[in-house]
Amino acid sequence: MTVLPQSTDALHRLNDAVEGFLRGEKEFNLTDPSAHMLVGGRFRTLGAQIGSAVLAGVPDEDIAAIVHPARAACGRSPFTRDEQEWARGYPSDFELVEHVMAQAIDSPPGTLGWHVEANLQSSAITQQLRNRVMHQARLISDTLTAPRNGPRSVLLIASGAAPDLRLIPPGIVRPGDRFVLTDVDPDALTLAQKRLGLLNDFTTVVPGNVFRALGKLAELGPFDLVLTNGLYDYLNDRAAVRLTEAVLTRLCRPGGTFYFTSITTGNPFRWSLEYLMDWSVIERDEAAVRALLPGCDVSIGHEPTGLALLTHVRTRF
């Protein structure tokens, strides 16, 4: 097989980036918290060179072999190790979301792992997740406080531990209002119930795969607002269309709102996440999102980092 010159160059640059990242343990004073900026610079360079190698046509197995030492070093951080190993059996689990929302750093100070976590927690890829949760909390609040003729109902699909709902002050919830949480991980729902406080009195949980739970969810509906946060990042187009149709025809009240998010194309963190953390998502641009919603009343915007699309669908009366 002929090795293209650009592939050879990309391999050399990638190898240099890996070595530079690993040398940081000796070259930087890791006891200085500000060193996370230096570590972060080399971490970003590593991600960029992984992407260059992919675009140059370097086989995935060759890239994985070269970056393995850097991946192992990143794995000293509990944050990245859990994603590498899929601690709960699926990527971006609810514990990671809780970790990101708390902006916690679990690695010991003065270690490379601490600086990797500090870099990730201060980056746009984690901030976009926090922005999504805050936006969803506003949507829930707006639904509860809008002029009404009766109680309001909200469904959270792939809810995790409901960090968005937990931001809602109980005082704006009125008699008859109700929230339904569904998630494939029963431990996520258990944590939600532990942390929802007074809102538990208004909340029902439905564990299990959302497609298998559609009948039960439909019985609890219809809903004024249906939220599906990051689930579409992991659904192929066929599954995404199937879920969208089910929400719009079986779960949403006429005139209600369906909302979901998705990572957009051109995500600069893609290569670091995929090769160093086994965190892969399906990226979609606005045209791809609209293709899932033919004939619908759709509004699409970006959250502040520009990394995620926020899609709002208004159902017809």
pLDDT averaged over 10-residue windows placed end to end, the chain, 317 residues: 66 94 93 90 94 92 94 89 80 86 92 91 94 97 90 96 96 95 96 96 96 96 93 94 95 95 93 90 95 92 96 88
- What local confidence, expressed as pLDDT, does residue 5 receive? 63
- What local confidence, expressed as pLDDT, does residue 84 receive? 83
Distances in Å between the Cα of 143 and the Cα atoms of 92, 246, 249, 258, 296 are 27, 21, 20, 12, 20
Q: Which DSSP string do the residues of 94-124 spell out, in sequence order?
A: HHHHHHHHHT---SPTTSHHHHHHHHHHTSH
Alpha helices in the chain (DSSP H): 5-27, 35-55, 60-74, 78-85, 94-102, 112-121, 124-145, 186-195, 214-220, 237-246, 270-277, 286-291
- What local confidence, expressed as pLDDT, does residue 1 receive? 38
The single-letter DSSP state of residue 173 is -
Closest CA to 132 of 313, 315, 314, 311: 311
Distances in Å between the Cα of 286 and the Cα atoms of 241, 258, 261 are 15, 16, 11
Q: What is the dihedral of CA 108, 67, 235, 301, to 10 degrees?
A: 70
- What local confidence, expressed as pLDDT, does residue 3 receive? 46
User: Residue 177 in contact with residue 151, Cβ under 8 Å?
Assistant: yes
Q: What are the beta bridge partners of residue 278?
A: none
- What local confidence, expressed as pLDDT, does residue 33 receive? 86
Q: Is the bond preceding 151 in cis, omega lying within 30 degrees of 0? A: no
What domains lie within the chain, and their CATH numbers?
5-122 (no CATH), 126-314 (3.40.50.150)
Polymer length of the chain: 317
Using a 10 angstrom Cβ sphere, with 0-12 exposed, 13-18 middle and 19 or more buried, the burial of residue 39 is: buried
85: tokens are 């190993």
pTM assigned to the model? 0.91
- What local confidence, expressed as pLDDT, does residue 295 receive? 86
- What local confidence, expressed as pLDDT, does residue 85 receive? 81
102: tokens are 């708390």
- What local confidence, expressed as pLDDT, does residue 149 receive? 80
- What local confidence, expressed as pLDDT, does residue 6 receive? 67
